[in-house]
Amino acid sequence: MSSFLVTEDGGLTGAGYGVFILVGILLLIAAAVVAAGQAKKKRKTMATKELVYCAAAIALAFMASYIRVFKMPGAVP
C-beta separation of 11 from 17 below 8 A = no
Is 25 a member of any domain?
Answer: yes
In a domain, residue 74? The reply is no
Count of structural domains, the chain: 1
Whole-model pTM: value is 0.48
pLDDT of res. 66: 86
- Does some domain include residue 72? no
Query: Is residue 70 in some structural domain?
Result: no
- Cα–Cα nearest to 21, from 34, 31, 10, 12: 12
- Residues in CB range of 7: below 8 A, 6 or more apart: 13
Domain of 38 in residue numbering reads as 2-64
pLDDT of residue 1: 53
**Inside any domain, residue 77:** no
* Residue 39 placed within a domain: yes
> For 17-65, how does the pLDDT look when each residue is reduced to its tens digit (9 = 90+)?
899 899 999 999 999 988 887 767 766 777 889 899 999 999 999 999 8
